[in-house]
Amino acid sequence: MGEAAIKIKVGKKSLFKNKVMELLPDGGNLNACLTCGACSSGCPATGLRDMDPRKFLRMAALGMDEEILSSEWAWMCTMCQRCIYVCPMEINIPQLIFYTRQSWPRETRPKGILGSCDAALTNKSGSAMGTPPDDFEFVVGDVLEEYQEAQPEFADMEAPIDKEGAEFFINQNSREPVTEPDEMVPLWKILHKAGVSWTYGSKGWGGENYCMFLADDDAWKHLATQTLNQADKLKCKTYLNTE
């Protein structure tokens, strides 16, 4: 007697994964996963919320859109791209993460990242602390004068702002001028000893771009453009991102 045929249900298509693959060049490579686990072994977020890159990718491949979009793990990814670097198939998992973040309503995204992004948009500094250009210039000048007087070997050290024609346009962590201004000085000393021609910009000096991590494309572009426009205006040759 013949055995009854076994029917295997075909997994539902993932609208979420299909959308991500549309965003990737040549249709993407999310289907190329070998489940080798290399991505998970190098990921600093592996194990958080009982999740890792391989599991996240497999959930997308299996059409588990609801679970993907409700997982907080997407916000724990650092976007460091180690997973792409170690993956033998070079699968773009960060693009999957980025689209996951974009799929969350903006007001429901993590408050810390959201607040820092919105603060940076309120001023021409691009500062995640909301520090305006005038305040930044005052702090830099005040700290520079203090060290010039206290340490004679650095009496001619500079911390220029809007210096035209400098080799390097350098940004600054937003928190340091507000809460830890002395932390700015070691970099100044290194640049001084090396004889480097550099400058801050009064506009776009904020080093972080939380809007990128928030997956807000328009805000991310605004902040990046603001910084690069200032660097171009000052005719700097190289933009050095210290963050």
**21 vs 52, 121, 126, 172, 212, CA distance in Å?**
20, 31, 32, 36, 20
Handedness of CA 133, 136, 138, 140 (dihedral sign): negative
Contact 41, 29 (CB under 8 A): no
Strand-pairing partners, residue 198, are: 168
Q: Which amino acid would we find at residue 28? A: G
Residues in the chain: 243
pLDDT tens digits, 33-48: 888 999 999 899 999 9
pLDDT of residue 57: 87
pLDDT tens digits, 169-211: 999 999 999 999 999 999 999 999 999 999 999 999 999 999 9
Q: Place 63 in a pLDDT band, splitting at 50, 70 and 90.
A: confident
Query: What are the domain boundaries of the chain?
Result: 15-104, 112-240
CA-based nearest residue to 239, from 202, 209, 200, 210: 200
The most confident of the ranges 6-20, 88-102, 169-183 is 169-183
- Encode 168-179: b = buried (16+ Cβ within 10 Å), e = exposed: ebbbbbbbbbbe
